[in-house]
Structure 1
Amino acid sequence: MAANSSPFKIILGSSSVARRKILAEMGYDFAIMTADIDEKSIRKEIPEELVVALAEAKAAAILPRIPTGDYINAVEPTLLITADQVVVYEGVIREKPSSKEEARKFMKDYSGGQAATVSSVFVSNLKTGFRKGDWDRVEIHFHEIPDDVIEKLIDEGTVLYVAGGLIIEHPLILPLVKKVVGTTDSVMGLPKALTERLLKEAL
């Protein structure tokens, strides 16, 4: 569907460059709003429940800032998309590294091993009040990651701002990824198939 012929508007509730890129690749025009929530205040043992709860909390933080009157009366509905992601390593949930030391430890763990990303998408229809979220899980298997690659990534800094310090699309890491069971867009934070399904359900 071409962006200009969408019978609905989209607000992406995320500051993530990767999510913006993926949503644009899907052919959508969208506005951006961000939710500043205290993610640490939301705790759940099960990663799938945690990421859906976080995406829902982001929606709850953004919705009051949107002048809903305009949207309820508009002809076409406006859909708010929020998302979240954690990395799971040996059953333990990992969020963004708190320091360079932690990022280094995370990457050494992945070397020659595997990790999973659990990503959520939550869609809210501002016109009808429909709200629904779901999750997607991907497993990533790595070859050995040399120490000099880890140090280069830490110096550059991107790994400090992503869940579990895990990136697979980076030119230094890409050749070291042995196998991905699932889709790359999901690892990058916005599973396309799940997003499309929830957008359809929301309409």
Structure 2
Amino acid sequence: MSDKKLILASGSPRRRELLAQLGYQFDVLVPNVEEAQQADESARQYVARLSRDKALAGLALAAASNHTVASHDMVVIGSDTIVVQDGLVLEKPHDFADSRRMLLHLQANRHQVMTAVTVATAQQHRSVVVTTDVWFKALTEQEIEQYWQSGEPCDKAGSYGIQGLGGRFVTRLEGSYYAVVGLPLYETDQLLREFL
């Protein structure tokens, strides 16, 4: 490991756990980045841009708040995860009706989870997007309502968390489980090795 300072630009406890699982020491900063898909953006372009925006905003925040470390010694990681069904991006639900709409859309069907990771320094940045196919079982209205009552879907893209109760809905997965949780371990580690 180098003496560069690693910063995770994310408030997600899942990303913190996964980055720690890779054995890295890091600080956490939470930049304020608006999450809104632009009219001409594909889902892949959108998630890549969000992860880049978060990494670069985290870098600016770190440089402004940490005068003991020169900005060229900082490495910032930003990440974002979206759920995509038939080309439509399913964001975090606003309320139960929104959550129900998403889960009914996903049930008995296949969807994609796209997670983008960007590693940035003052000199350069690189991004990778990992796409995983996920299949859901058929859901009943009762299952959807009970799941909402658990509180788990509230802050999750696509209104579910695979690492929690939502995992019971998943019948099959092709790709990276960790990317669905929020941070693909292999790809993140490979990116960080280029920068640290």
Q: TM-score, normalised by structure 2?
A: 0.89
Question: In structure 2, how many angstroms separate the alpha carbons of the residues matched to 1:138 and 1:41?
Answer: 20
CA contact (8 A) 1:87 1:166 kept: no
Q: Counterpart of 2:115?
A: 119
Structure 1 residue 23 and structure 2 residue 31: aligned? no
Structure 1 residue 56 and structure 2 residue 49: aligned? no
Question: In structure 1, how many angstroms separate the alpha carbons of the residues matched to 2:108 and 2:173?
Answer: 14
- Could you tell me which amino acid in structure 2 is paired with residue 102 of structure 1? D
The verdict on how the C-alpha distance between 1:9 and 1:161 changes in structure 2, with shifts beyond 3 A counting, is: same
Q: Counterpart of 2:88?
A: 92
Deviation string 1:132-180 (CA, Å, 9 cap, x unpaired) is 1121000101112232221122112221211111322223x32331111
The verdict on how the C-alpha distance between 1:60 and 1:9 changes in structure 2, with shifts beyond 3 A counting, is: closer
Question: In structure 1, how many angstroms separate the alpha carbons of the residues matched to 2:21 and 2:105?
Answer: 32
Question: How much is the aligned-residue C-alpha RMSD, in angstroms?
Answer: 2.0
Q: Counterpart of 1:138?
A: 132
Task: Specify which of 9, 17, 33 is matched with residue 13 of structure 1.
Answer: 9
Task: Specify which of 131, 134, 147 is matched with residue 153 of structure 1.
Answer: 147
- Could you tell me which amino acid in structure 2 is paired with residue 168 of structure 1? I
The runs of 5 or more residues in structure 1 that have no matched partner are 1-5
CA contact (8 A) 1:113 1:141 kept: yes
Matched residue SS, 1:71: coil
- Could you tell me which amino acid in structure 2 is paired with residue 196 of structure 1? D
Matched residue SS, 2:163: coil
The runs of 5 or more residues in structure 2 that have no matched partner are none
Q: Counterpart of 2:195?
A: 202
Question: In structure 2, how many angstroms separate the alpha carbons of the residues matched to 1:62 and 1:89?
Answer: 30
Q: Counterpart of 1:106?
A: 102
Question: Per-residue deviation at 1:43?
Answer: 5.2
Structure 1 residue 71 and structure 2 residue 69: aligned? yes
Question: Per-residue deviation at 1:113?
Answer: 0.9
Question: In structure 2, how many angstroms separate the alpha carbons of the residues matched to 1:87 and 1:165?
Answer: 9
Question: Per-residue deviation at 1:69?
Answer: 6.0
Q: TM-score, normalised by structure 1?
A: 0.86
Question: In structure 1, how many angstroms separate the alpha carbons of the residues matched to 2:37 and 2:47?
Answer: 13
- Could you tell me which amino acid in structure 2 is paired with residue 153 of structure 1? Y
Deviation string 1:21-80 (CA, Å, 9 cap, x unpaired) is 111111112110001122227555311111111111122322222237643388xx4311
Matched residue SS, 1:140: strand
Q: Counterpart of 1:3?
A: none
Structure 1 residue 36 and structure 2 residue 29: aligned? no
Instruction: State the percentage of identical aligned residues.
Output: 25
The verdict on how the C-alpha distance between 1:118 and 1:41 changes in structure 2, with shifts beyond 3 A counting, is: closer
The verdict on how the C-alpha distance between 1:40 and 1:174 changes in structure 2, with shifts beyond 3 A counting, is: closer
Matched residue SS, 2:78: strand
